Amino acid sequence: MAYGAHPRQRMDIYVPQGGGGTLKPVVFFIYGGSWANGAKESYSFVGDALSARGFVTVIADYRLVPEVRFPVFIEDGALALRFVRDNIARFGGAPRDLHLMGHSAGAYNAMMLTLDKRYLAAVGMRSGDIRATIGLSGPYDFLPFDIDVTKEAFGNARDPARTQPINFARSDAPPIFLATGSDDTTVLPRNSERLALALSKAGSRSVSLKIYPGLGHAGTATALSRLLEWQAPVLDDTVAFLRMT
């Protein structure tokens, strides 16, 4: 499905089998790849796993560095979300039961869409349109831009502070589940720890943090696969969180 004119503005939709005419909750999953790599087809295992648990699951491509830089990859997410809100009922999804989820750079995108209200507002959506958000191994507090990945993606930002999800922590944020692995050396667990603390200090009462012992950076995503669920209970914890919101 196309949500825009660019070849990268496409999405796949995974629909649960059976269930009759009842509209199902929706999970919009954003993959990572340093904002420079990735394809929705590579994450079909996420769509399969979540749809098997009863969630209409959407995985969208978005424009990547170096063709674009901040904030375009977030803006693409907002465009895709608006398309989902307006069209997902045709696929059995409940537009008022929309959840965000992302891994790594995708978790960053998801958290910016959740916490910085300007992106959804720009496409005619409200922050309240997001029921809950899950961030897996995401970077949320990474100033200064001192490595090539962040220099390439964010070096053009006029106000670097406004690129950081932690600076948009607010009391009225939707429920947020932050998950990371203790052995993540790519995006250090302190990113999730600091965001959880910032949200709590801002007055949010619906933030939870889970650090999986022995799990590395990719593990919070690969553990969603039916074949690799044994790595950590990420899928079970994700589903439990979604069903509580």
- CATH number of 210's domain: 3.40.50.1820
Residue 23 pLDDT exceeds 90: yes
**What average pLDDT does this structure show over 77-102?**
98
Task: Give domain status of residue 130, yes or no.
Answer: yes
How high is the pLDDT of residue 91?
96
Task: Give domain status of residue 4, yes or no.
Answer: no
pLDDT band at residue 185, thresholds of 50, 70 and 90?
Answer: very high
In the chain, what percentage of residues exceed pLDDT 70? 99
Task: Give domain status of residue 153, yes or no.
Answer: yes
Neighbours of 7 (CB within 10 A): 9
Closest residue by Cα to residue 100 from 131, 139, 126, 141: 131
Domain of residue 116, residue span? 11-244
Residue 21 pLDDT exceeds 90: no
pLDDT digits (tens, 9 = 90+) for 103-127: 999 999 999 999 999 999 999 999 9
Burial 183-198 (b: 16+ CB within 10 A, else e): ebeebbbebbbbbbeb
DSSP β-bridge partners for residue 30? 102
Closest residue by Cα to residue 49 from 128, 136, 112: 136
Domains identified in the chain, total number: 1
**What average pLDDT does this structure show over 14-37?**
94
pLDDT digits (tens, 9 = 90+) for 125-160: 999 999 999 999 999 999 999 999 999 999 999 999
**What average pLDDT does this structure show over 19-48?**
96
Cα→Cα distances 8→67, 76, 131, Å: 11, 9, 26
Task: Give domain status of residue 31, yes or no.
Answer: yes
Q: Is the pTM of this model over 0.85?
A: yes
Task: Give domain status of residue 208, yes or no.
Answer: yes
Average the pLDDT over each of 10-19, 124-133, 164-173, 208-217 and give the range with the smallest value.
10-19
Task: Give domain status of residue 1, yes or no.
Answer: no
Average per-residue pLDDT for the chain: 98
How high is the pLDDT of residue 164?
99
How high is the pLDDT of residue 19?
66
Decide: 188 and 141 in contact? Cβ < 8 Å: no
Task: Give domain status of residue 2, yes or no.
Answer: no
Task: Give domain status of residue 6, yes or no.
Answer: no
